[in-house]
């Protein structure tokens, strides 16, 4: 899975927000705290620092959604993060992203806080982020 594969899947999956570029993925992967899990159908990017794992992004290509791929990728990155010493996982999700909230809920995450207006949708519209977390393992 290359940064170009990630950018293509990200662009296909994220229809309501700005897709991340190949260069952004490449830069993120050059950080020693960051790792990727999955393949061009579904992948996640994670950062582990000081015992805390943060999900930076996860995307399943629309041609492959609802087949359990994101669930598999979530389980795989949890294991990898635990091996790197993580004891807690957290993430941000747009308050109106019901598919992702359902995925995270099924993966053991609970709401932990809210960031008002965190995601810009347009010049006029923004949406809150819900912070979710779970212990690892
Ligand atoms: C969220 C996303 C990653 C889920 O990927 P996926 O591979 O389809 O997820 P899974 O098949 O593993 O689904 C696991 C569970 O999540 C929930 N879920 C996933 N998609 C859903 C949808 N469209 N509507 C409602 N619940 C959904 C369900 O509980 C599902 O279990 P079920 O299929 O047994 O009902 C995918 O929809 C996506 O890429 N969305 C666009 C990008 C995005 O929003 N990323 C998250 C940003 S925080």
Confidence class of residue 123 from pLDDT cuts 50, 70 and 90?
confident
State pLDDT tens for residues 2-38: 999 999 999 999 998 889 999 999 999 999 999 999 9
Closest C-alpha to 41, from 59, 55, 25 = 59
Could you please state the CATH topology (level 3) that the domain comprising 3-135 is classified under: Aminopeptidase (3.40.630)
Q: Would you tell me how many other CB atoms lie within 10 Å of the CB of residue 137?
A: 11
Strands 88-94, 52-60: pairing kind: parallel
**59 ligand 1 Cβ < 6 A:** yes
State pLDDT tens for residues 86-96: 999 999 999 99
Hey, where are the domains in the chain? Answer: 3-135
State pLDDT tens for residues 47-69: 999 999 999 999 999 999 999 99
Q: Which atom of ligand 1 is nearest to the CA of 65?
A: 8
Residue with CA closest to ligand 1 atom 35? 66
Please give the distance, rounded to the nearest whole angstrom, from the Cα atom of residue 45 to the centre of ligand 1. 16
Please give the distance, rounded to the nearest whole angstrom, from the Cα atom of residue 60 to the centre of ligand 1. 8
């Amino acid at each position: 899975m290359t940064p170009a594969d990630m950018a293509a899947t990200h662009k296909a999956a994220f229809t309501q927000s700005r897709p991340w570029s190949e260069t952004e993925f490449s830069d993120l992967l050059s950080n020693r705290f960051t790792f990727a899990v999955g393949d061009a159908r579904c992948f996640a990017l994670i950062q582990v620092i000081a015992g805390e794992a943060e999900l930076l992004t996860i995307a399943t290509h629309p041609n492959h959604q609802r087949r359990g791929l994101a669930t598999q990728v979530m389980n795989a990155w949890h294991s990898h993060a635990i091996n790197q010493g993580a004891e807690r996982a957290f993430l941000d999700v747009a308050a109106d992203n019901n598919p992702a909230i359902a995925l995270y809920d099924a993966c053991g995450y609970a709401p932990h806080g809210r960031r008002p207006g965190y995601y810009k949708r347009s010049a006029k519209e923004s949406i809150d982020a819900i912070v979710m977390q779970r212990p690892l393992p």
